Structure 1
Amino acid sequence: MAEHKHGSMDITEQEKTFEGFVKMTIRTCIVILLVVLFLAIFRV
């Protein structure tokens, strides 16, 4: 097995993917909150 050196791996793609995941999660939560507010206000 090759020796692993901590911090030597390029993780830029993983960071971009995680950032996209966090953004999408926040947007989804906002949309869900807006839908819930709409339903609460107009009692649909």
Structure 2
Amino acid sequence: MASGNDMKAHESTYTGFLGLVKWGSILTALVTVLVVYLIA
């Protein structure tokens, strides 16, 4: 586990990871909608 001294770095890394997951999911959904639209 992270010690008390590493919590700021941990929170920063985790926040960045959550941001990437959020925007990656949105981008994937948009690309999926575009592909379905082009096929239909």
Count of residues paired in the alignment: 37
- In the TM superposition, structure 1's runs of 4+ consecutive aligned residues that sit over 3 Å from their partners are none
Separation of aligned partners in 1, 2:4 and 2:33: 45
Separation of aligned partners in 1, 2:27 and 2:39: 17
Structure 1, unpaired ranges of 5+: 1-7
Structure 2, unpaired ranges of 5+: none
Question: What residue is the counterpart of 1:15 in the other structure?
Answer: 11
Q: Could you tell me the percent identity over the aligned residues?
A: 22
- Larger gyration radius, structure 1 or structure 2: 1
RMSD: 1.7
Say which structure is richer in helix.
2
Relative to the length of structure 1, the TM-score reads: 0.74
